[in-house]
Amino acid sequence: MSSNAITHEKLWAIAPKLPEDYAPWGEVVRWADEADAYPDCSCGCAFAAWLDGAHGADWCVCTNPASHRTGLLTFEHQGCQAFEPERDFNSASELGT
């Protein structure tokens, strides 16, 4: 493997870890309150700009201006309470019909 190859370890080295992230990266204990939803990018966030290539299923850049992770390289399970699900533009309700 080339020393220039992108690996999970290299991505983790540059991905900010913030207190608002889910543990173990941050201080939010996921599922601490069973009544709360604890979404993450892997749930299909409309604002996740996924990387291309081998790590595209795990890593994205957040584009949600309401998120604490906006503009940041983000692992799919770091979490965000500003999550918004992708919309299905193939459904009749989304098309206004």
Q: Which residue has the higher pLDDT, 53 or 95?
A: 53
Residue 64 reports pLDDT greater than 80: yes
pLDDT of 13-57, one tens digit each?
Answer: 999 999 999 999 999 998 888 888 888 888 889 999 999 988 888
- Determine the 3-state secondary structure of 42 from DSSP: helix
Give the residue extent of every domain in the chain.
Answer: 19-85
Phi, psi of 94 (to 5 degrees): -70, -30
Strands annotated E in 2-90: 48-50, 59-62, 73-75
Q: How many CA atoms lie within 13 A of 78 on its CB side?
A: 26
Q: Residues 6 or more apart from 6 whose CB is under 8 A from it? A: 53, 54, 55
